[in-house]
Amino acid sequence: MWELDDPQVNGKIQRFARDPELVYWSGTAERDLAGTSGATKAGVLDGILDHISCGFPIMADYMKNGDLAFIFDCFVGIGRLYVKVKMITVGTEERMFVFSAHKHK
C-alpha cells in the first residue's frame, strides 16, 4: 500500500463522488453501511469529498485480482470509516465501485 499523489485521480474520484448515479455499491458495502449507525451512501460520498478537499492522503493498493483500489480513512456520520473504491467499466462507461465501507476492525 502506498500514498497516492495524483491530482488526476483525485479529480476523477471527486467527479464520481459528486454524482451518486455514477457510483455502484457492492452488497458488502451496503451491508457495512446498514450495520453502522448514522452511515449512509450519501454520507460516504460526502466523506470522500471532504477527505480529498482537506488534503488528507488517499492510499492505493492492488487487490488480489490485480485491480487498483483507492482507500480512504474518512469521517462519515458520527465516526470514521475505512472505505475502498475502484474504477470499473459498465458497458463503455467508467464508474466508481465502492466495495467496502466499514468501521476499522
Domain CATH for 47: 3.30.2310
CA distances from 9 to 64, 78, 94 (A): 21, 27, 13
What CA–CA distance (Å, rounded) separates 2 from 5? 9
Residue 4 predicted with pLDDT over 90 = yes
Q: What is the pLDDT of residue 79?
A: 86
Q: How many domains does the chain have?
A: 1
Residue 20 near residue 42 (C-beta atoms within 8 A) = yes
Q: Where is 12: in which H helix or E strand?
A: helix 7-17
Domain that holds residue 31: 2-102
Instruction: Render pLDDT for 28-83 as a digit per residue (tens, 0 to 9).
Output: 999 999 988 889 999 999 999 999 999 999 999 999 999 999 999 998 877 899 99
